[in-house]
Copies of this chain bind each other. A is one copy, B any other.
Amino acid sequence: MTKEITALGQHPAPASGVRMAGAERRLQILRVAVSLFAHEGFRGTTTKKIAEAAGVSEAMVFRHYANKEELYTAILDHKACSGDAIDPELMVADALKRKDDRAVFEGLAFGALEHHESDPEFQRLLLHSALEGHELAQMFFEKFVRRVYEFLGAYIRERQRDGAIIKIDPAIVVRAFIGMIIHHSLNNNLWDPQRRLLSLSNESAAKHFTDILLGGISTKRELKDSRKDRRPGANSSPVKR
């Protein structure tokens, strides 16, 4: 009886009772571990902390996952394989068919920014595991990033044949565009969460990055400055200096 009471205070548990079913507990441990690994990295996260955060004993953690490494791996591919990672190609399938360059790039940018914002831990997790040289990070990069380069590169090549995009290595364009997006998310999530340097809605960011990119690679001159929805960012935001 006393045990239950002490345990209850600890965890932001989904269920009300203390003793939960195996699969449920397993998932709960995984979830609290995600958060801890994301913030402290693999070595910085002790099994003890995980157990405490989950409101169980350490022994329980090892009951569900043979060892720490297995738990980490389970997290990484849970994150990578679950519905979290949406297919970028499908996201803009319609725009691709219409050859609407603006919609393609802006859609991709917006989707990525929204995803990063909704799940900032994923970025941290990936960064940690990349730095630590974990193979799953490498795998994710290989599978996901390469695909973006390939399908977006193919689209750019097609538009070059159409004469709509200048002659340039498509990979450079992809690199530049992804760079703006990733770096912006990194700023928001990691370096400047208070948005002191730049505060911007995802819509606005996607639009501006797309403007810059297309301005730099389109063969046709767009009507700069004249679009009526052009505002200098979400500058009405509170923390602007």
Measured CB to CB, the residues of A under 8 A from B are 39-44, 124, 127-128, 130-133, 141, 145-146, 149, 166-169, 171-176, 178-184, 187, 190-192, 197-198, 200, 205, 208-209, 211-217, 219, 221, 224-225, 230, 232-233, 235
- Complex CA gap A198/B166 in Å reads 18
A71 to chain B, nearest CB (A): 17
Q: Are A198 and B175 in contact (CB under 8 A)?
A: yes
A70 to chain B, nearest CB (A): 19
* Chain B residues whose CB sits within 8 angstroms of the CB of A128 once the complex forms: 131
Q: Is the interface of A mostly helix, strand, loop or mixed?
A: helix
Q: Are A169 and B235 in contact (CB under 8 A)?
A: yes
- Complex CA gap A216/B176 in Å reads 12
- Complex CA gap A217/B222 in Å reads 11
Q: How many copies of the chain does the oligomer comprise?
A: 2
* Chain B residues whose CB sits within 8 angstroms of the CB of A173 once the complex forms: 212
4 A-B pairs with the lowest CB-CB distances in the bound complex, closest first: A179-B183, A215-B216, A212-B216, A169-B233
- Complex CA gap A127/B172 in Å reads 24
- Complex CA gap A146/B192 in Å reads 10
* Chain B residues whose CB sits within 8 angstroms of the CB of A191 once the complex forms: 130, 141, 145
A161 to chain B, nearest CB (A): 14
- Complex CA gap A184/B180 in Å reads 10
* Chain B residues whose CB sits within 8 angstroms of the CB of A130 once the complex forms: 190-191
* Chain B residues whose CB sits within 8 angstroms of the CB of A224 once the complex forms: 166, 219
Q: Are A233 and B43 in contact (CB under 8 A)?
A: no
Interchain Cβ contacts under 8 Å between A and B, 25 examples: A40-B132, A41-B41, A42-B44, A44-B132, A124-B131, A128-B131, A130-B190, A130-B191, A131-B131, A131-B190, A141-B192, A145-B197, A169-B235, A172-B198, A172-B233, A175-B180, A176-B209, A178-B183, A179-B181, A183-B183, A211-B216, A212-B213, A212-B217, A213-B216, A215-B216
Q: Are B169 and A232 in contact (CB under 8 A)?
A: yes
A196 to chain B, nearest CB (A): 8
Q: Are B40 and A208 in contact (CB under 8 A)?
A: no
Q: Are B44 and A212 in contact (CB under 8 A)?
A: no
Contact A198 B179, CB 8 Å, known A124-B131, A127-B131, A191-B130: no
